[in-house]
Amino acid sequence: MADTTLMSIPGQVDPVPVARDITPRTDGRIDLIGLPKDRIRELFAEAGLDAKQAKLRAKQVFHWLYHRGVTDFAAMTDIAKTMRPWLAERFYIGRPDVVEAQHSTDGTRKWLLRTSDGHEFEMVFIPDADRGTLCVSSQVGCTLNCRFCHTGTMKLVRNLTPGEIVGQVLLARDSLGEWPKGSMAGLDEVEDSAEYTSDGRLLTNIVMMGMGEPLYNFDNVKGALKLVMDGDGLALSKRRITLSTSGVVPAMARCGEEIGVNLAVSLHAVTKEIRDEIVPLNKKYGIEELLQACADYPGASNARRITFEYVMLKDKNDSDEHAHELVRLLKQYDLPAKVNLIPFNPWPGAAYECSTPERVKRFSEIVFEHGISAPVRTPRGRDIDAACGQLKTAAEKKSRAQRDREAAAAEATEAAAG
């Protein structure tokens, strides 16, 4: 049974997740998915291969796992026939379990997935004319409780492991039938590498915008994205990957330096009062600090702008003044910015409504008139609750009364401690 590393801290304290690279299995085999190539080599050496063999086999197996999407050692045709059962006895190639797969009328697909220890989470695939975006989860639930977000009301939270994160990408490739086909005699086969380009692919982009705050699960997200970007495997360019954060300021510079993907920031409000209310993390890392971290984000430039997400909440954050203030702030910090206006997606019990289409349009125009692109994001997959902020697994529901009781208990503990 996996160590679930539950995080019970609701909100204002940065959780310290315990990173683990191997999830033990009851059958004693080790799941290789999520491990870096060097770790696979070490494990092969520990299992008895000499250094040279371990290195070669790790390279071959890695290629099969991430370039070809194979889940069975028996299919690894360039590995000696006698070696394949030896590997299968000791190692395993896992995928998250699929509990349910749904298809929206607009083509969006949502999968309800389950970890080996029974936690449910979701991933969403959004096809467009010129690209296909996979929206990947980083945690089961989220500790941050943004008031407009359904995921924020979830009870149980644990970090997803690197294997469970990269596993979503592998599973999407499986479902979309997107692994390179054909025989493969050796690693250098030219015909094979020519097949592997992003042209005509369904899955071209990845956004870390599913359940959870990715920067509160930094090491595991980094480990998974390194595998996604590895040229010997999935080989997706960092330019096609975007990580969205609600504003975990201390982790932002590391994200740029160590992962190097595009950054999206859930800004959503331009005054302290309103942002404190709708994104409670703002009480810890305020707007100025956040925008300064954006200005300092490694790799940001006019060619690679930072996306500012702004959810349109009726009579809350959607006035002309708010739009002007947004422009002023982005200019003050000299940010290479684009703004993404997200119509609020409703969910049962939400305290907000979506702004009217006219209001959203006017807001967009004001920002645009000042030279900043501000498209309105078309909600996708609303009919299957796959749109931004609607992700929440049924198994994790808890009552309002229960949440209030827990909040009161936490406050009492804090008062006693302080």
Closest alpha carbon to 396 in 138, 148, 120, 143: 120
Q: Judged by CB under 6 A, which of 146, 350, 374, 386 binds ligand SF4?
A: 146
Q: Where are the alpha helices (DSSP H) in 255-399?
A: 272-278, 287-295, 320-332, 357-369
Q: Judged by CB under 6 A, which of 342, 367, 372, 384 binds ligand SAH?
A: 342
d(CA 22, CA 256) in angstroms, rounded, equals: 26
Q: Judged by CB under 6 A, which of 35, 49, 54, 149 binds ligand SF4?
A: 149
> Is residue 149 part of the contact set for ligand SAH (CB under 6 A)?
yes
> Is residue 213 part of the contact set for ligand SF4 (CB under 6 A)?
yes
Give min distance, CB of 337 to ligand SAH, in A: 15
Residues 253-292 that bind ligand SF4 (CB under 6 A): 266
Q: Judged by CB under 6 A, which of 116, 153, 161, 266 binds ligand SAH?
A: 266
d(CA 266, CA 251) in angstroms, rounded, equals: 15
Q: Count the Cβ atoms, other than its own, within 10 Å of residue 239.
A: 13
> Is residue 96 part of the contact set for ligand SAH (CB under 6 A)?
no
Catalytic residue of the set 213, 277, 388, 396: 388
d(CA 196, CA 243) in angstroms, rounded, equals: 24
Q: Is 338 strand, coil or helix?
A: strand
> Is residue 120 part of the contact set for ligand SAH (CB under 6 A)?
no
Q: Judged by CB under 6 A, which of 115, 168, 220, 246 binds ligand SF4?
A: 246
d(CA 87, CA 68) in angstroms, rounded, equals: 17
- Note if 135 is an active site residue: no
Per-residue tokens: 402:
């229960």
Please give the size of the binding site for ligand SF4, defined by CB under 6 A. 11
- Which residues make beta-bridge pairs with 100? 112
Catalytic residue of the set 122, 213, 309, 396: 122
> Is residue 318 part of the contact set for ligand SAH (CB under 6 A)?
no
> Is residue 248 part of the contact set for ligand SF4 (CB under 6 A)?
no
Per-residue tokens: 409:
């208990």
- Which residues make beta-bridge pairs with 338? 307
Q: Count the Cβ atoms, other than its own, within 10 Å of residue 330.
A: 25
Give min distance, CB of 209 to ligand SAH, in A: 4
> Is residue 311 part of the contact set for ligand SAH (CB under 6 A)?
yes
With CB atoms as reference, the residue minimizing the distance to ligand SAH is 389
- Note if 294 is an active site residue: no
Helices 83-90 and 51-63: crossing angle in degrees, nearest 10, is 80
Evaluate whether 209 touches 19 at the Cβ level (below 8 Å): no
Give min distance, CB of 196 to ligand SAH, in A: 29
How big is the chain by its Cα radius of gyration, in Å?
Answer: 22
- Looking at the Cβ atoms of 64 and 216, the one nearer to ligand SF4 is 216
Residues that bind ligand SF4 (CB under 6 A): 142, 144-146, 149, 151-152, 212-213, 246, 266
Catalytic center residues: 122, 388
Q: Where do contacts with ligand SAH occur on this chain (CB under 6 A)?
A: 146, 148-149, 209, 213, 244-246, 266, 309, 311, 342, 344-345, 388-389
